[in-house]
Amino acid sequence: VQGEIALLITAMRRTSRYGAHGRHGRHQEDEGDILQSSFFQLKDILNSITELSEIEPNAFLSPFLEVIRSEDTTGPITGLALTSVNKFLSYGLVDPAGDMAAAAIENIADAVTHARFVGTDPSSDEVILMKILYVLRTLLLCPAGVLLTNESVC
């Protein structure tokens, strides 16, 4: 999880360092700072525990889901967050027997189905759309996928 955090923070810094303020100017900078600070808070939490199972899945998923939901992030950064969530699901980091697993799975489904990002070019945007489909596929096939409600699946 810490490796994925580092990847996203680096990508977000690189994007803002080159002045990619997009259509929202200062608002996008503020949102980027908020998104980055949530990753730094998660990093602090992860450094204070010995096992990932000591925290609820939503605690380590939330910053990634915020990036996916943010309309001010670029496609490549949204793609990195989608890839991270896909890895977490593939590696079984959401234990279906956990108390908050159902809520975490629902949050993932909601974030991915409501993904927003700043489009760059059609081919890059299509890659992000494919990543959305991959996460949804993994979500349905992973052990915790049985916790999805009928509403989420439809």
Residue 152: the pLDDT is: 80
Mean pLDDT of the 113-128 span: 91
Mean pLDDT of the 112-139 span: 93
Q: Can you tell me the distance from the alpha carbon of 61 to that of 104, in angstroms, rounded to the nearest whole number?
A: 8
Residue 142: the pLDDT is: 95
Q: How many CA atoms lie within 13 A of 135 on its CB side?
A: 31
Cα 102 → chain centroid: 17
| pTM listed for this prediction | 0.87
Specify whether the CB–CB gap between 85 and 72 falls below 8 A: no
Residue 32: the pLDDT is: 66
Q: How many CA atoms lie within 13 A of 111 on its CB side?
A: 25
Q: Can you tell me the distance from the alpha carbon of 78 to that of 67, in angstroms, rounded to the nearest whole number?
A: 6
Nearest alpha carbon to residue 52 among 93, 3, 107: 93
Interval 10-53: pLDDT, tens:
999 988 643 444 444 444 556 668 899 999 999 999 999 999 99
Interval 55-68: pLDDT, tens:
999 999 999 999 99
Specify whether the CB–CB gap between 139 and 148 falls below 8 A: yes
Q: How many CA atoms lie within 13 A of 44 on its CB side?
A: 6
Residue 93: the pLDDT is: 95
Which position has the higher pLDDT, 128 or 25?
128
Provide the domain limits for residue 22.
2-153
> Could you give phi then psi for residue 43, rounded to 5 degrees?
-60, -40
Interval 76-119: pLDDT, tens:
999 999 999 999 999 999 999 998 999 999 999 999 999 999 98
Number of domains in the chain: 1
